[in-house]
Structure 1
Amino acid sequence: MRIPPYYRQTGWQRFLAGMAIGGFISWIIFLYIFGSWQEIQSKEIQRQKDEIADLKKAVKIWQGDFNKLNEKNQEQLTVQNIKVKITNFEKYKLDLLSVSELEEMIKEDIDMVMAKDLESVYNNKDLIKKVIENKVFVLNDKRFKLQVKEMIVYTTLQIQLQIIMDG
């Protein structure tokens, strides 16, 4: 067997040379188009990455603010402080020190309401009144009871009391 002598025929040589040159040119065109598409896609991916990073930062900021607001609202919805005020201590000629000590004892008796939510404190206001009114206090060798005149339940529990001589 022998190979046919196509190298002598110029028509076949031109055809094969045209195929080689056409393949080379088409490969260059393919690389150019593919490269430009890849460049466009790379830019789009980078833009999307930047946008995702910005959105993640925004989400962190929003979540932080949301958590701070939740904590602030949680604080506002619980009893944070107790204020006790005795109004008519002058009637029984009591000194300010003993009245202040009496107010502190009342605060210690009802300190279980600290950090409780407002609804439960409001529902138990009658119990708080009974705790205060059923206790007898001795000041200057005299027995006194307290009567709740006003109770305001909010983040600060304010109680206004009057002293009554225990008979």
Structure 2
Amino acid sequence: MRVPPLYRKPSWQRFLAGAVVGGCLSWIIFLFMFGALQEKQSKKISTQKSIIEDLQNDILIWQKEYKQINQKNAELLIVQNLQVKINNYKKYNIVDSQSIFEAEEAIKKDLNSLLAKDLDTVYKNRELILKTLENKTITINNRRYKLVIKDIFFYSNIVVNLELKLA
């Protein structure tokens, strides 16, 4: 078999030359369109990557703030301080403020177990706390006094206002 001599026929030569030129032009157009689309996609990917990094940084910041707020809320729900105040000591002519201070410190020492406890637990046991304070007798200047609870506030600081009564 022999390849036909097409080089003598100009119609076939034009056809083959047109096919080669058309193939080259279509390849160039394809490369241009593909390159443009790839460039557009790479820009989109890079912008999305930067957006993702920003959002991840925001998430980290939110998580840190969330942990800090939770820690602050946990501290608010724990008894942190006790304040005891005896109000009517002047009624019994007690001028020695050192004795009153020592009595207040003794009461604080009795209530010291409430520190660092859950506020809900302390509030549920308030009747026990009230009975403990009302049954306590204090000796000041060789006189015995009972404590009467005027008011008590439960929060992160427990504030107890007491009055003295002769026993």
Q: Settle same-fold status: TM greater than 0.5.
A: yes
Which whole-Å deviations, capped at 9, do the CAs of 1:94-114 have from their partners, x for residues lacking one? 521222122112112112222
Aligned length: 166
Distance between the aligned counterparts of 1:34 and 1:112, measured in 2? 76
Distance between the aligned counterparts of 2:31 and 2:53, measured in 1? 32
Q: Percent identity?
A: 46
Question: Counterpart of 1:14?
Answer: 14
Question: Counterpart of 2:40?
Answer: 40
Distance between the aligned counterparts of 1:109 and 1:92, measured in 2? 26
Q: Give 1:149 shift.
A: 1.7
Distance between the aligned counterparts of 1:94 and 1:112, measured in 2? 30
Question: Counterpart of 1:124?
Answer: 125
Question: Counterpart of 1:138?
Answer: 139
Letter in 1 for 2:138: F
Q: Give 1:30 shift.
A: 0.1
Shifted more, 134-143 versus 32-41: the winner is 134-143
Q: Give 1:18 shift.
A: 1.6
SS state at 1:85 partner: strand
Distance between the aligned counterparts of 1:3 and 1:126, measured in 2? 114
Distance between the aligned counterparts of 2:6 and 2:80, measured in 1? 103
Question: Counterpart of 2:53?
Answer: 53
Q: Give 1:34 shift.
A: 0.5
SS state at 1:110 partner: helix
Q: Give 1:75 shift.
A: 2.6
For normalisation by structure 1, the TM-score amounts to 0.85
Shifted more, 7-16 versus 146-155: the winner is 7-16
For normalisation by structure 2, the TM-score amounts to 0.85
Letter in 2 for 1:159: V
Q: Give 1:157 shift.
A: 0.8
Question: Counterpart of 2:164?
Answer: 163
Letter in 2 for 1:15: F
Question: Cα RMSD (Å) of the superposition?
Answer: 2.1
Question: Counterpart of 2:76?
Answer: 76
Distance between the aligned counterparts of 1:27 and 1:74, measured in 2? 68
Question: Counterpart of 1:151?
Answer: 152
Question: Counterpart of 1:111?
Answer: 112
Distance between the aligned counterparts of 1:115 and 1:24, measured in 2? 83
Shifted more, 37-46 versus 26-35: the winner is 37-46
Letter in 2 for 1:148: I
Q: Give 1:84 shift.
A: 0.1
